[in-house]
Chains A and B, each alone.
Chain A
Amino acid sequence: MLSELTDDIILNILWKIEDDPRDWARLSCVSTKLNSLIHDFCWKNKTSLIIPSQLLVSSSQDHSLHKLPFCCPGLVHAGILFNTADSPEENQHQQSITSSSSTPSCSLVQQSNECSTYWSLYDDLYHDTLYADSESNHQQEQEESKENTIRTGVVDVPPESKKIKVNGSLSSHLATGKWTLSREQGSKLLARQFRDDCLYVCDWPGCVHLEEKRKYRVFRGVFMNFKKTRVWKTVNDCSNRRKIDLPCAFCSCNHTWDLHSAFCLRRGFGYHDDGEPVVRAFVCDNGHVSGAWTDVPMYT
């Protein structure tokens, strides 16, 4: 039946459901015809209204721009639940996460230079449920990890929950707040020496997540021409210890760079009492950024 409706009629129907981007996303899965109409016309038109034109022009091949304005990376991809083995105080709170389909006794993080042989968060994100085994505390830090190019870590699920479903607001979902991106927001994030880099971030306050510990304003963004930026040069030149196995929410990159520990973020935001940074951000090789602001702690 659909084949009898002309493209302009189908587009007329599609435009009537533009308010919720999830509808177009799901309809893209229906057939190749709907996918190409939505990609070539719907997303293109909609993003041209909310993404600055210079960014659109420079990223014409980047399909992730159809997703980035609308999709919050969630606590997972913004690195909020991600603990690396670096800081000693965090080691004590680490819990092992076992995928329901993997052998529980396996060490979650295997020392390896081959991506295919170690567990990564990427694998678990596509299982329906992750179970936190609050009884066991595996030591995640690998002394030999200095040899590794990737910093390993675990998703740190709050100790009070034995089982938690990692979906919904924890991983990617439709963003609340504004869907527009601006360079102004990006410039508030970067340290002064990176002021010539063009980082576009969603407008304030991003997608607000009220968690037990604190409020997170989860944001997403993208660098224009990332490989030509000073940030790229910085993360690339530095020791590879700053690359972590936290996958990008917007493309197929399995690893991202921690901008906080690479000193790319504006100084002075500091840390909370529990060691959590006030602001954090992670960037992938394609320049997609996920992160979160928290409120600056008030010291009495």
Chain B
Amino acid sequence: MAEEKSQASSSKMLTLKASDGVLFEVELNIAKEMKTVQAYIDDCEDIETIPIPNVLGKHLAIVIEYIKKTNEEYDAEFEKQWNMDDLQLLLLAANYLNISGLQECLCKAIAKRIENKSPEYVRKVFNIENDHSPEEEAKLRKEYKWAFEGVDKD
């Protein structure tokens, strides 16, 4: 995979413009890993600068780096560097750009961080408001009492 990326056909360069105006010059075959960008190129043949309105420069940089380096080892270490906010924003970026490998990697990472955790912890990391009524929540807690043993401390 890494070798394919450095072949002669990849010499054409493309510019991606993040939502905050940051510009990234990338090889065509890197850009094509983003299916959304691929579709853009297919529609407009001579385009040189492609706007990526939903993704900040900071995250686009990470995404591009990921595409260049992805392999099993890299993926395993990749998610450890980011906090939960960044993971979610990266996931939104990967979803928008339609990069399935990165989406999978990030979903796994987020899942790993919420397994065996209390509802309070999950609400905090996802910044979710508890919109259960007190009665509903009490009912669920009672029904799922068996699931609360051995949960990680918050």
Contacts and interface: CB of A to CB of B under 8 A. Distances in A.
B149 A12 contact: no
A67 B128 CA distance: 25
B148 A26 contact: yes
B119 interface: yes
Interface string B138-149: 001111111111
A1 B127 contact: yes
B110 A32 contact: no
A29 B141 contact: yes
Contact of B128 (A20, A26, A31, A172): A31
B55 interface: no
Contacts, number: 105
A22 B88 CA distance: 23
Nearest to A9: B95
Contact of B126 (A1, A14, A23): A1
Given A30-B130, A31-B131, A16 B108 contact: yes
A173 B148 CA distance: 9
Given A1-B85, A173-B146, A32 B131 contact: yes
A16 B104 CA distance: 9
Q: How large is the interface on A (under 10, 10 to 19, 20 to 34, 35 or more residues)?
A: 35 or more
A27 interface: yes
Contacts of A168: 149
B111 interface: yes
B98 to A, nearest CB: 12
A174 B141 CA distance: 15
B118 to A, nearest CB: 7
Nearest to A174: B146
Interface of A: 1-2, 4-6, 9, 12-14, 16-17, 20-23, 25-35, 67, 71-72, 126, 167-168, 171-174
